[in-house]
Amino acid sequence: AQSVTQLGSHVSVSEGALVLLRCNYSSSVPPYLFWYVQYPNQGLQLLLKYTSAATLVKGINGFEAEFKKSETSFHLTKPSAHMSDAAEYFCAVSSQAGTALIFGKGTTLSVSS
Amino acid sequence: DGGITQSPKYLFRKEGQNVTLSCEQNLNHDAMYWYRQDPGQGLRLIYYSQIVNDFQKGDIAEGYSVSREKKESFPLTVTSAQKNPTAFYLCASSRRSTDPFYGYTFGSGTRLTVV
């Protein structure tokens, strides 16, 4: 069975600081992994996705994530936080054809000036 | 521009009522999904459909029903059997559920409140 665990329901950083949001997955087969962002009262927007082409994936808005099979992790990072990055972030996994994405419980990112 | 339209944005339901949430897409996507979002619980799958006239239950299907009569439309009915329906409901679509590479496109959601 697939599952996703996001460590830390709330992360707070200062503007300009490194952003690190953690995601660990469980899958018996090579997974496809996704990060989505959600702003208040809106739907989810795709940030980036891992599909086995490269372990370091670059996404929109300066975010990137690294797939580490040995650690079963897919952590999301951004070198310098901006106020506009404040939102909720979801990690998701899919590895079985014909099934739906499994989402983590989300991490709320707060950015202070 | 192609996308997914959910309506209404806000919906109020009285006790014992059935209500239907609309989801329409013009992306020519084969698969469509309904998720429920509650604070601190992430997104939980209610139903999904891979093709027209076919759908499968997700993890929390009790108290909900769906139909998929057209490729573009996947309405969700919240029945009176759903005892705690207050939540944010998200509809999504993907090119093919059998190819997880593509990920999903999401609508902007419907917030349902029981009054």
pLDDT in tens, A7-47: 999 999 999 999 999 999 988 777 889 999 999 889 999 99
Q: Which residues in chain A have their CB less than 8 angstroms from residue B108's CB?
A: 41-43
pLDDT band for B45, please (50, 70, 90 cuts).
Answer: very high
Q: Is residue B64 within 8 Å of residue B58, measured between CB atoms?
A: no
Q: How high is the pLDDT of residue A28?
A: 73
Residue B26 has pLDDT above 90, yes or no: yes
Q: Which residues in chain A have their CB less than 8 angstroms from residue B101's CB?
A: 32, 49, 51
pLDDT band for B97, please (50, 70, 90 cuts).
Answer: low
- Shortest distance, CA A18 to any CA of chain B (angstroms): 24
Q: Across the interface, do B42 and A45 touch by the CB < 8 Å criterion?
A: no
Residue of B nearest to A94 (CA): B100
Got the DSSP string for chain B?
---EEEE-SEEEE-TT--EEEEEEE-S--SEEEEEEEETTTEEEEEEEEEETTEEEE-TT-TTEEE--SBTTB--EEE-TT-S---EEEEEEEES-TT-GGG--EE---EEEEE-
- Shortest distance, CA B35 to any CA of chain A (angstroms): 10
Greater pLDDT, B53 or A94 = B53
- The rounded mean pLDDT for chain B is 92
